[in-house]
Structure formats: C-alpha cells, structure tokens
C-alpha cells in the first residue's frame, strides 16, 4: 500500500502554489490582473473550469493548488462558483466513466500506485454511510473516490449529493485563502490554512489507511 506516499508527494504542489501567491502579492497588481482576466469574458472561467474538471478525471494531476489560484484570479464569489462547477463536472465524468466502462478503462486514468488500493476503496464506498466516511477521511483523493463509487453499487444521486457539498466546504476555505491575497490580514491565512489543511488531511489519510489495510479473511482478490 503506497497511497500515503504518492498522495503526499502531490502536496508539493501546495508549496509551489504558496510561492506563486507570495510572488503575486509582492510583484503583481492583483486588481489590475483581475480586470485583465475579466476582459477575456467567459474564456478564462471556462478554461479554469475545464482544467479543474480534468484534475479529477486524469488522476495524476493535482487540483488542490488550483483553488487558491482561482480565488486570486477571479475573487472569492466567482472563483468559488467556477471551482464547484469544475469539481462537479469532474466527479460526474469520473463516476460515469467507471460505471460505463469498468476497471480496465479506469486503470488508464489512475496512477500505478492506486491500482492496488482501488478495489479496497470500492468495497468501502458501496453504501451512503461508507461513502460519506470515505469522503471525510480521504477527501484529498476525489479522483479515487469518484472512480471507486462508479465501480460500486452506489447510485449517482447519492454519490453527488454527498461529495459535492463536502468538497464545496473545502473549496470555500481554499478559494477564500487565494482571494485574501493582497489584503491586510492575508498573512494569517498563509499561516493558518496550510497548517490546518495538512493536519486534517494527515489524520484523515491515517484513519482511512488503517481501515483499508485491515485484514479481511473474506476479501476477494484484487481486480
């Protein structure tokens, strides 16, 4: 089981994002930048929405760093809307790709280290309660959650009704984090948000990893 290793490797993107936000604060007039982006009309929001959706469907891509960047570029309100739309599109596509085509095609979209863990995730997310707990504890892997739910017997309305609001909570915090860049109190966000995020994700990953690695004599062989 290497989920805790290669998933945490993606968190390096957070460091890059923080560096980019610091650079924006120091060297860029954010208000002027947002005005320039607004002049592009719907093109820039559409590109960000498609990019955000692709980070779920193409699992090796990490979508976490996009949230604060969306907030910095578009502001809190519009940025949050674009992030949620992108997430819902990505979750839906991943769910129906796995539901329609099954594990053989899903293998092409996920990382090699996830191939062995996915069958165990499928086993845990087949019920509303199980999927809710998986979202709470494994929220840093929405790609696996979406593909796993599609491979399970979980119905789509239940799937999207659980994952969309929970991810929206995370989106709100991260987009607000990015939107606060340049404001007088933004320094506190730079300290609090990353620390709280790492603690929560680490705790969730640990408990879900313990559940996944728990021995089950009746467990079927991996897909």
pLDDT in tens, 99-154: 999 888 887 777 655 666 788 888 889 999 999 988 888 767 888 899 999 999 99
Q: Predicted confidence band at 2 (pLDDT cuts at 50, 70, 90)?
A: very low
Residue 199 lies in a domain: yes
pLDDT at residue number 155: 95
Determine the Cα–Cα distance for residues 48 and 181; give it in Å rounded to an integer.
19
Q: How high does pLDDT run on average in the chain? A: 75
Residue 99 lies in a domain: yes
- Extract the tokens encoding 74: 């578009």
Residue 223 lies in a domain: no
* pLDDT tens digit sequence for 160-208: 999 999 999 888 988 887 887 655 454 455 545 555 555 555 555 555 5
CB-based contact 110:118 (threshold 8 Å): yes
Greater confidence, 222 or 87? 87
Greater confidence, 216 or 120? 120
DSSP string computed for the chain: --HHHHHHHTTHHHHHHHHHHHHHHHH--HHHHHHHHHHTTTHHHHHHHHHHHHHHHSTTS--TTHHHHHHHHH-HHHHHHHHHHHHHHHHHHHHHHHHHH-HHHHHHHS-GGGTTTHHHHHHHSSSHHHHHHHHHHSTT-HHHHHHHHHHSS--HHHHHHHHHHHHHHHHHHHHHHHHTTTSTTHHHHHHHHHHHHHHHHHHHHHHHHHHHHS--TTPPPP-
End-to-end Cα separation, the chain, in angstroms: 15
Q: Predicted confidence band at 77 (pLDDT cuts at 50, 70, 90)?
A: very high
pLDDT at residue number 217: 45
Q: Predicted confidence band at 85 (pLDDT cuts at 50, 70, 90)?
A: very high
Residue 56 lies in a domain: yes
* Containing structural domain, residue 19: 3-213
Residue 218 lies in a domain: no
Tell whether the model's pLDDT for residue 218 goes beyond 60. Answer: no
What global pTM score does this model have?
Answer: 0.73
Cβ density class 109-124: b for 16+ within 10 Å, e for less: bbbeebeebbbbbbbb
Residue 43 lies in a domain: yes
Q: Predicted confidence band at 4 (pLDDT cuts at 50, 70, 90)?
A: very low
Residue 220 lies in a domain: no
The total domain count for the chain is 1
Residue 189 lies in a domain: yes
pLDDT at residue number 1: 42
Q: 59: exposed, middle or buried (C-beta count within 10 Å: 0-12, 13-18, 19+)? A: buried
């Amino acid at each position: 089981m290497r989920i805790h290793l290669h998933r945490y490797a993606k968190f390096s993107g957070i460091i890059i994002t923080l560096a980019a936000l610091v650079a924006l604060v120091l060297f860029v007039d954010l208000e002027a930048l947002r005005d320039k982006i607004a002049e592009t009309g719907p093109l820039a929001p559409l590109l960000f929405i498609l990019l955000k959706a692709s980070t779920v469907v193409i699992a090796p891509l990490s979508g976490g760093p996009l949230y604060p960047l969306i907030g910095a570029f578009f502001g809190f309100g519009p940025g949050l809307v674009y992030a949620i739309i992108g997430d819902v599109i990505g979750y839906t596509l991943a769910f129906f790709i796995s539901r329609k085509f099954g594990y053989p095609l899903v293998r092409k979209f996920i990382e090699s280290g996830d191939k062995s863990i996915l069958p165990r995730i499928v086993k845990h997310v087949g019920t509303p309660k199980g999927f809710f707990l998986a979202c709470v504890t494994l929220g840093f892997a929405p790609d696996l959650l979406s593909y796993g739910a599609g491979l399970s017997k979980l119905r789509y309305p239940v799937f999207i009704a659980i994952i969309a609001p929970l991810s929206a909570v995370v989106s709100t915090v991260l987009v607000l984090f990015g939107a606060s860049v340049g404001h007088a109190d933004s320094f506190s966000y730079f300290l609090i948000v990353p620390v709280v995020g790492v603690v929560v994700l680490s705790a969730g990953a640990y408990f879900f990893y313990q559940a996944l690695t728990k021995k089950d004599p009746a467990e079927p062989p991996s897909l």
